[in-house]
Chain A
Amino acid sequence: MPALSLLVFLAVWQGLAVYLNNNTLPAPETVAKVFWQACVTGQLPFHLGVTLLRLVVSFSIAMLLGCAIGIVLGRNKKLDAFFDNWLVIFLNVPALVTIILCYVWFGLIESAAIVAVVINKLPNVIVTIREGTRTLDQDLLDMARCFNFSRRKTLVHVIWPQLHPFVMGATRSGLALIWKIILVVELLGRSNGMGYQLHLFFQLFDVASILAYTIAFVAVIQLIELLILKPLDKKSLRWRR
């Protein structure tokens, strides 16, 4: 079934391309050729790799910080009341504004790019994990306290499994959000990566290359889902009936 739907998608694309017969919508075959060419010259793997590296670094920082802060805010009413407004502010600052400000304040450097992505993603993670922490089962926490669980034991065996669905949710929405923002970050202030390349192709009106790069990126994200996230889900949910 998935194979069939993909085939239909390709057929529609091919049909439209033939019908329009226009440079702005190249046929799948052309795109495939360009894709292959870009792979052979090493251009595509290089820029894709650079972008993925930024994705991994900024994603890890955002998730670690977000989980830690989210758990603290979820467990502590006073801190939560204090920082709630801050969260709302950061949630609503447009991504573009953060990116521009980071470049203006820190210069057109790698760390500024990473910081910009992290700031965009962090509030989302915090809010999701905070909601998760608020729903923690007090009965189980009491049990852990009564049986003298250490802090580490409580976190690993009582709190973390309950937060797991929220962490997975934050991971999925985070990946989708971050890779979109990274492209803008690269477009505005980096001289490599997917965003930079797309900007170049836009100026050259090279639609085939733009599509080739897009396909590469979508494929990578799908692989992450299939090879990392799905197995993680499966492993952690085996206790369910």
Chain B
Amino acid sequence: MSDIQINIHSKTYPAIGQAGHHAAIKNLKLSLTSGEFICLVGPSGCGKTTLLNIIANLDTDYEGEIRVGQQQSHPKIGYIFQNPRLLPWRTVRENIELVLGSDQSPDVIDPLLEVMQLTQSQHVYPERLSLGMSRRVSIIRAFAVDPEILLMDEPFVSLDAPTARQVRELLLKLWQERPHTVLFVTHDLREAIALADRLIFLSAAPMTVISEITVPVPRAERNDEKAIEAFRQQLINDYPEIKKLL
């Protein structure tokens, strides 16, 4: 399957004009077990997006290595970017159909559109959508490819609370039906606790791992806000350095 070993010695953005060079990541070591749900928590601008881009093989300009399982071929990746990145000249449905593999039937899209309440808008061009709707389309697009690794970069920002809750439930349902590795970037600790098997706290740039914590709350109790809040308080009390991050 797709265990991932991440070992990045350093990632530096070169100086351009007035801005000096910027060390984004330094000595970051992470190992992800296949099928694990992991939340990356860290202050904004610390380099989380850079890390996701490196894992997605979009950024190859770094020192270190990333090993994905034993398989030679690159795993199938679903990536929910921070901005939706839809093709404005293709309709909602076309945008999703484009990412499907040749072995996939376009019918897989319909139930996803239904859950995200986008069936009505499937033939609309993205410029007519609100940001929240575009974001939901980009979420469907990443789910639709049946990824082995799902990268999510603060995907629920700008969704209203009820929709966010629904999407979160859908995400968990899909993940339980067909386990895949999820890397979920957020700075909302409650959300992270509700979703993750394991939390990884990251420092400000140059980014490195501060601590890794397995969430002890059983999956069945994740809907209980009190249990989540209790664990959050406990975390903040036990790890003063986490409190500084939030």
Q: Is A239 touching B88 in the complex (CB atoms < 8 A)?
A: yes
Which residue of chain B has its CB nearest to the CB of A143? B85
A146 with B79: CB separation less than 8 A: yes
Query: Which of A139, A157, A239 is within 8 Å of B98, CB to CB?
Result: A157
Which residues of A187-241 have CB atoms within 8 Å of chain B's CB atoms? Answer: 236, 238-241
Contact of A147 with B88 in the complex, beta carbons under 8 Å: no
Q: Does A158 make an interface contact (CB < 8 A)?
A: yes
Residue pair B58, A239 in contact (C-beta under 8 Å): no
A236 and chain B: residue at smallest CB distance: B89
CA distance A161 to B53 in the complex (A): 25
> Could you tell me the distance in whole angstroms from the C-beta of A168 to the nearest C-beta in chain B?
14
- B128, A241: Cβ atoms under 8 Å? yes
Alpha-carbon distance A143/B57, docked complex (angstroms): 11
The answer to whether the Cβ of B77 comes within 8 Å of any Cβ in the partner chain is: yes
A-B pair number, CB within 8 angstroms: 48
Cβ–Cβ < 8 Å partners of A236 in chain B: 89
Number of A residues near B (Cβ < 8 Å) is: 18
Contacts of A140 in B (CB 8 A): 85, 87
| In the complex, B81 has a CB within 8 A of chain A | yes
Tell me the count of chain B residues lying within 8 A, CB to CB, of chain A. Answer: 23
Give Cα A146–Cα B90 distance, bound, in whole angstroms: 18
Residues of A within 8 A of B88 (CB): 239-240
Q: Scan B55-80; emit 1 where CB is below 8 A from any A CB, else 0.
A: 01110000000000000000011110
| A41 touches B (CB below 8 Å) | no
Main SS class of interface, A: helix
Contacts of A85 in B (CB 8 A): none
Q: A147 touches which one: B53, B99, B125, B128 (CB < 8 A)?
A: B99
CB distance from B53 to the nearest CB of A (A): 8
Q: Which of B125-146 contact A (CB under 8 A)?
A: 125, 127-128, 141, 145
Cα distance A142–B49 in the bound complex, in angstroms: 13
Q: Is B83 interfacial (CB 8 A cutoff)?
A: yes
22 A/B residue pairs, CB under 8 Å, sorted by A: A139-B83, A140-B85, A140-B87, A142-B53, A142-B58, A146-B57, A146-B58, A147-B77, A147-B78, A147-B79, A147-B98, A147-B141, A147-B145, A149-B98, A157-B87, A157-B98, A239-B89, A239-B125, A239-B127, A240-B88, A241-B127, A241-B128
Interface residues of A (CB under 8 A from B): 139-140, 142-143, 145-149, 153, 157-158, 161, 236, 238-241
